A and B are shown apart, each in its own frame.
Chain A
Amino acid sequence: MMRVVGLGLRRGLIELRQSLSSGTDLFGYALPAVFLVIALVWMRGSTIPGTEMALGVHSLIGSLALLIVVSGFMSMMQYLSMDREDGTLLRAKATPNGMTGYLLGKIVLVAGVAVISCAFVLVPGLFLVDGLTLGADGALALLWLLPLAFLATMPLGAVLGALFDNPRQASLVMLPLFGLTAVSGIFYPITALAGWVQGVAQVFPVYWLGLGLRSAFLPDALAAAEIGGSWRPLQTAGVLVAWALAGLLLAPGILRRMARRESGSAVAARRERAMTRMTV
């Protein structure tokens, strides 16, 4: 078993290195940073309503939350869907313990991609905004927050990746995710939105991850600007754990079903469909 864990970790690192040496992938990591820099320059001078804190800080932290969710959820889904189409998953199935190694590798890859995307945003962001602090308390919060954020997103991303038969269908999920971002107080405080919208946003993990990250990176005085005037760490953990449990309960069965259905002719049929799509 230890050997398979080692193989999975190494697999993830190899794929991470491949991603870092791919121009397209690097462009994908850098693009959000470019948008954020433009947004930060544009909102210079604005403050979070009712506080002295620059709005840019809120947006910078919000975009970190968004990137983590997008990586954990979207990337996981797309990788799985792509790997099903090109037969990588079938290869894993044909190898002893290959599925375990494959999934471990994907977890490492996705977590790595999330960290890299965040770094791309954080580095220029830190030059443009002041007020980001990370004390011992904050660092401690990140230690439980980040793994929980991955647990809340990756299994569900894997489930959707297993359900969608081709990567293009999978990208449809982008739209609701953008909608969710708009209401989750990522770029602008949620308190400015209508009450029922706040209610909807608080069902999903995006808002809570943003809140958790603000609690880690901002001084406690700023909790006053949040819903209920508090960082609400217990609720944050509660909602994220609930999503993680939902994903972890669903994922094994659906992934096993996906693996069971994988065969050479299934891959060939998918490939055929992909070819027709290209010629149409």
Chain B
Amino acid sequence: MYYEFDSVLDMTGSVLAAGAVADTPGVDPVIEVRDLRMSYGDKEVLAGVDFTAVAGEVLVLLGPNGAGKTTTIEILEGFRRRSGGEARVLGVDPEQGAEQWRARLGVVLQSWRDHSKWRVRELLHHLGGYYAEYSTASRPRPWPVDELLDVVGLTESAGTRIARLSGGQRRRLDVAIGIVGRPELLFLDEPTVGFDPEARREFHDLVHRLTDVDETTIMLTTHDLDEAEKLADRILILAHGRIVADGSADELSRQVAGETEIRWTRDGQRFVHSAADATGFVRELFRQHGEAIGDLEVRPSSLEETYMKLVREAEGGTR
């Protein structure tokens, strides 16, 4: 039911998105961060972070615990004052962001336990009400509650008290609240923790829908590298308060110049080899053995390997 609905939206989505691109003047960055710094006392959490995000982009922030991911997001959300550097979110300094600016953002934090006595529909309806005065012709706000419940798969829980939701349902509600104002920019801090594979898959569909239909820019953090690879237009790896890599998953693995794994069989025997120049290696392999080679597999280094390598390099650099 949820899937059917989604696929229809996907089709209309591509039409809408095409129209939206045509009349969007210029391409001002949605997020622009330069030399962002944050210290708590002596401890430097962010040591000069630079990046930009453009409209409709899905930016995934990866990094080990304590690397400064949440701090970065909180600064951009306007919840935390930076110690130095410049930040512009939707053209506004987040420290100066007024309610008008706030209405264009969506925020999903790591853990919410709020409004536990409210019912799901009641809360979405109430919170949506605050966005009504910021409605525009191109972006009617808020998102109609029934439609939103359907989009996040909570229709059947509409009358449930929030305290009684399961962990995954609660998370979906958090996402629903994050997008009830049809944000132009959505921050998601580890959105899929506690999701089962199906819920995760549905969430990924929702992210695609938001970027395709609504031209929503999304910035999310995750620990799930597979998820990062699936969702990200661009991946930022944050380690020790610095961006150590910035690019698509492919670009990152090329940047790292990881070794490619090659597997083959010859005369019924299995072989595995890692090579920096996979093409050259395979060419040589065939030149030597020709027809004897079977079951050839060439696997470029995965995002996981790239990530581990980059983070280790960053750690080596500071130690």
Least Cβ distance of A36 to chain B in Å?
28
- Select which of B103, B114, B122 is within 8 A of A88 by beta carbon: B114
Contact residues, B84-109 vs A (CB, 8 A): 99-100, 102-103, 105, 107, 109
Asked whether any CB of chain B lies closer than 8 Å to the CB of A235, the reply is no
Asked whether any CB of chain A lies closer than 8 Å to the CB of B283, the reply is no
- Select which of A3, A91, A97 is within 8 A of B115 by beta carbon: A91
Chain A facing B: main interface SS: helix
Provide the bound-state CA to CA distance between A203 and B79, in Å: 40
Nearest CB in chain A to that of B98: its residue: A96
Q: In the assembled complex, which residues on chain A have CB atoms less than 8 Å from the CB atom of B77? A: 94
Asked whether any CB of chain A lies closer than 8 Å to the CB of B181, the reply is yes
Provide the bound-state CA to CA distance between A159 and B101, in Å: 28
Q: In the assembled complex, which residues on chain A have CB atoms less than 8 Å from the CB atom of B177? A: 91
| B102–A96 touching, CB < 8 Å | yes
Most chain A CB atoms below 10 A, which of B80, B103, B177 = B80
Least Cβ distance of A255 to chain B in Å?
16
- Select which of B105, B110, B118 is within 8 A of A264 by beta carbon: B110
The contact size tier of chain A is 20 to 34
| A14–B118 touching, CB < 8 Å | yes
Nearest CB in chain B to that of A7: its residue: B129
Asked whether any CB of chain A lies closer than 8 Å to the CB of B286, the reply is no
- Select which of A7, A18, A83, A265 is within 8 A of B74 by beta carbon: A265
Provide the bound-state CA to CA distance between A15 and B118, in Å: 8
| A14–B189 touching, CB < 8 Å | no
Binary contact track B259-273/A, C-beta < 8 Å → 1, others 0? 000000000000000
Provide the bound-state CA to CA distance between A227 and B79, in Å: 52
The answer to whether A94 and B126 touch (CB under 8 A), given A87-B112, A262-B79, A264-B74, is: no
Least Cβ distance of B79 to chain A in Å?
4
| B189–A18 touching, CB < 8 Å | no
Contact residues, A263-278 vs B (CB, 8 A): 263-265, 267-268, 271
Provide the bound-state CA to CA distance between A144 and B9, in Å: 57
Asked whether any CB of chain B lies closer than 8 Å to the CB of A185, the reply is no
**B residues bordering A, Cβ < 8 Å?**
70-71, 74, 77, 79-80, 99-100, 102-103, 105, 107, 109-118, 122, 126-127, 129-134, 177, 181, 189
**A residues bordering B, Cβ < 8 Å?**
3-4, 7, 10-11, 14-15, 18, 22, 83, 86-88, 90-91, 93-98, 101, 262-265, 267-268, 271
Closest 4 CB pairs of A and B: A263-B79, A96-B103, A264-B109, A88-B114
